[in-house]
Chain A
């Protein structure tokens, strides 16, 4: 379920208008006949499964910052393993049939007592979000509206950037760093989480994320986390995607009266 407006397709062909929407993943289901061919149709088993989404750019498009080789591993092996692992688990788990991915992560999180499917589900979500948080030759400054909000909530863009980099470098173990719109506090914040935890789980709205698991940078940067994070901030962040996500999040979080310019 993706919208593709040909009229508004930007000049960059590797960005699709569909990428500006966070599509709900409706699981494709198929009916599988069980039993022998010569007996009448028994009750068929419905399966839900999720597909491996492709990044909105070719795997070499993020060179020289993230190599094709590393993306082939990260997307082709790690992300794919999470998807296939999840589908394996869902095969045997009828009560979880029919959820969209957004719903599935919340259900399997089970309010902090996660079900076995959670690890795979959340990492599928996180990686889908991550590929779309980056773009080739990412602009290093957000557009006006988002920039205003960042300046309001962090003081300055530099301050935000510092906080983000600091969170990434002080994360212990595997995890993610997020720019998130907080639902209750009604403001942007930088949040770091362990393993696969995602601010979506407690009702906040992720705007950008950065994978700080070692597999996300090790092949290209070895142990130099600082270089990886700074490269991400300077060259890879998709502020276009962030703006679109912000627009959607503002439908749920009232950030106050808009600044209506007086003519």
Chain B
């Protein structure tokens, strides 16, 4: 146990590095007396770059309308929260929590999602090699099994939500989880870190796949950015 805390202390130095990286993916931190608000992060690829697996029409709407709306409403809720906190208005503070969770979660989840995707000619769909690849084989038996499991859970999800491949930092194991609505993965367990998330809200696939969610789930693996997932996995595994 003591050994572990020694390693943990080392990671404090990397916190500021993490902050910087977090800011790059659209997250931010509250500075004293200055409310940090958020803006829509750019995609690293064109809207049409994921065709034919995810249509340009969907990517554009998903990014410019849906994600933007989450950000707008998140900022609004944060402003209202700051006001309520300054006034000591507890009932408003508590009332705002669900809007913050929903819109903030939407922002977090979609920011990760854009990074999870890459065009086929930029490595999208290439199976994971290295540490993550081995961990998948260890924890799930094979990549095929992991994909099958995530597809099954994604298809079975009632209503709106996400299906995740996550790392449990405590047990150091990979897990597959689903979250409802825009709940971030951390709501399923404080030690869970998202590596890959697939949006199974209907807006993520309806215009192209209509109600056939399983087809969408099968297709999206062709543009999955395993390199990013591997990066996050390696980084998180080394820290506590």
* Max chain B C-beta neighbours (<10 A), residue from A73, A77, A172: A172
- Within the complex, the shortest CB–CB distance from A82 to chain B, in Å, comes to 11
Is B211 within 8 A of A214, CB to CB? no
Chain B minimum-CB-distance residue to A172: B102
Q: Which A residues are CB-close (under 8 A) to B158?
A: 119, 195-196
Task: Say yes or no: A214 contacts B206, CB within 8 Å.
Answer: yes
Asked if B159 is at the interface of the complex by the 8 Å CB criterion, the answer is yes
Q: Give the docked Cα–Cα distance between A214 and B211 (Å).
A: 11
Contact of B159 among A78, A213, A218 (CB under 8 A): A213
Q: Are B65 and A173 in contact (CB under 8 A)?
A: no
| Chain A 173-185 interface mask (CB, 8 Å, partner B; 1/0) | 1110000000000
The reply to whether A214 and B201 form a contact with Cβ atoms under 8 Å apart is: yes
Interface size class of B (residues with CB under 8 A): 20 to 34
B181 close to A (CB within 8 Å) = yes
Q: How many A-B residue pairs have CB under 8 A?
A: 52
* A77-B181 CB under 8 A given contacts A174-B159, A195-B159, A223-B61: no
Which of B182, B207, B211 is within 8 Å of A78, CB to CB?
B211
| Complex CA–CA separation, A174 to B201 (angstroms) | 9
Q: Which of A73, A77, A173, A214 contacts B182 (CB 8 A)?
A: A173
Contact across chains for B160 and A215 when beta carbons are under 8 A apart: no
B86–chain A nearest beta-carbon distance, Å = 24
CB distance from A118 to the nearest CB of B (A): 10
A153 at interface, CB cutoff 8 A = no
B202–A218 CB distance below 8 A? yes
A173 contacts B98, C-beta separation under 8 Å: no
Given known pairs A218-B202, A222-B61, the reply for A173 and B211 (CB within 8 Å) is no
Kindly state the separation between the CA atoms of A111 and B65 in the bound complex, as whole angstroms: 38
With A and B bound together, what is the CA distance between A214 and B181 in angstroms? 12
B206 touches A218 (CB 8 A): yes
- Report whether A215 and B206 are in contact in the complex, using a CB–CB cutoff of 8 Å: yes
Shortest CB distance B11–A (Å) = 35
When the two chains form their complex, are residues A223 and B211 in contact, meaning their CB atoms are under 8 A apart?
Answer: no
Cβ of B202 and Cβ of A215 under 8 Å apart? yes
Q: Is A46 an interface residue (CB 8 A)?
A: no
- Indicate whether A104 reaches chain B with its CB closer than 8 angstroms: no
Q: Which residue of B lies closest to A74 (CB)?
A: B211
B159-191 interface bits toward A, Cβ cutoff 8 Å, 1 = contact, 0 = none? 111000000000000000000111000000000
Q: B69 interface residue, CB < 8 Å from A?
A: yes
A213 adjacent to B203 (CB under 8 Å):
no
User: In the bound complex, what is the Cα–Cα distance between A170 and B66 (angstroms)?
Assistant: 14
What's the least CB distance linking A84 to chain B, in Å? 13
Chain A CB within 8 A of B20 CB: no
Contact A77–B159 (Cβ < 8 Å): no
What chain B residues lie within 8 Å of A102 (beta carbons)? none
In the complex, chain A residues whose CB is within 8 Å of the CB of B235:
none
Q: What is the CA–CA distance of A172 and B161 in the complex, to the nearest angstrom?
A: 11
Residue A15, interface by CB 8 Å? no
Judge whether A213 and B202 touch: CB under 8 Å.
yes
Chain B residues positioned under 8 Å from A78 (CB to CB): 211
| B210 interfacial contact with A, CB 8 Å | yes
CA distance A162 to B202 in the complex (A): 26
CA distance A213 to B206 in the complex (A): 12
- Distance in angstroms from B110 CB to nearest chain A CB is 13
For B65, the chain A residues whose CB sits under 8 A away are 222-223
A219/B159 contact (C-beta < 8 A), A81-B211, A172-B102, A172-B182 known: no
Cβ distance B122 to chain A, nearest Cβ, rounded Å: 28
Q: Does A156 contact B (CB under 8 A)?
A: no
- Shortest B64–chain A CB gap in Å is 9
Given known contacts A172-B102, A214-B202, is B207 in contact with A219 (CB within 8 Å)?
yes
The answer to whether A173 and B203 touch across the interface, beta carbons within 8 angstroms, is no
Residue of B nearest to A81 (CB): B211
B207 close to A174 (CB less than 8 A): no
- A24-55 interface bits toward B, Cβ cutoff 8 Å, 1 = contact, 0 = none: 00000000000000000000000000000000
Kindly identify, within residues 197 to 238 of chain B, every residue whose CB is under 8 Å from any CB belonging to chain A. 201-203, 206-207, 210-211
Q: Smallest CB–CB gap between A80 and chain B, Å? A: 10
Other 17 A-B pairs with CB < 8 A, given A173-B102, A218-B207: A77-B210, A77-B211, A172-B102, A172-B181, A173-B160, A173-B182, A173-B201, A174-B159, A194-B159, A196-B158, A214-B203, A214-B206, A215-B202, A215-B206, A215-B211, A218-B202, A223-B203
CB within 8 Å of A: which residues of B?
A: 61, 65-66, 69, 98, 102, 158-161, 180-182, 201-203, 206-207, 210-211
A residues near B (Cβ < 8 Å) are 73, 77-78, 81, 119, 172-175, 194-196, 213-215, 218-219, 222-223
